[in-house]
């Protein structure tokens, strides 16, 4: 999936660039099945929350938070399944870096559930252990 590879390459360069046409204003994101809108403390019915949580803005907010928590993060797509009839693909991700504030290494495997249609990302759900989220949250609190 070329556009996903391009997005990962940009992330690894520290760039928040998004491949043209890959994310739409309606692209949704979730973390362990929890919609990004709810993580921001709002509802998908709220236009401002929707604007911040979806599409390029939603991706950039999450990517910037991960860049901040992990010094020089590296994201690798280790494998990806072919899309099923509904357009769902599963990707195994490796996330590496050094945790801000402690300089402790971070090395984790996460699952990415994505639905694409016509080379555009419809939805993305990152599935990862709560312990990884706790480490990232603690690192984000560091100056």
Domain boundaries, the chain: 2-140
pLDDT digits (tens, 9 = 90+) for 73-105: 999 999 999 999 999 999 999 999 999 999 799
Counted residue by residue, the chain has a size of: 143
Asked if pLDDT for residue 25 goes beyond 90, the answer is yes
Reported as a pLDDT band with limits 50, 70 and 90, residue 41 is confident
Reported as a pLDDT band with limits 50, 70 and 90, residue 26 is very high
CATH node for 2-140: 3.10.450.50
The least confident of 21-25, 47-51, 123-127, 137-141 is 47-51
Rounded mean pLDDT of 114-119?
92
Reported as a pLDDT band with limits 50, 70 and 90, residue 42 is confident
Q: Which two tokens stand for residue 82?
A: 């072919």
Q: Which two tokens stand for residue 59?
A: 């991706």
| Confidence (pTM) | 0.92
β-sheet with 120-127: strand ranges across: 34-35, 23-31, 120-127, 105-117, 88-99, 70-80
């Amino acid at each position: 999936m070329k556009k996903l590879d391009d997005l990962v390459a940009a992330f690894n360069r520290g760039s928040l660039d998004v491949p043209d046409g890959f994310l739409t204003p309606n692209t949704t994101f979730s973390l362990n099945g929890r919609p990004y809108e709810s993580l921001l403390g709002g509802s998908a019915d709220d236009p401002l929350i929707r604007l911040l949580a979806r599409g390029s803005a939603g991706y950039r907010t999450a990517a910037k938070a991960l860049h901040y928590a992990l010094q020089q993060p590296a994201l690798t797509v280790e494998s990806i399944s072919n899309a099923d009839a509904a357009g769902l693909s599963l990707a195994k991700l490796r996330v590496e870096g050094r945790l801000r504030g402690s300089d402790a290494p971070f090395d984790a495997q996460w699952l990415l559930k994505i639905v694409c249609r016509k080379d555009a990302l419809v939805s993305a759900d990152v599935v990862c252990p709560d312990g990884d989220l706790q480490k990232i949250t603690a690192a984000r609190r560091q100056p």
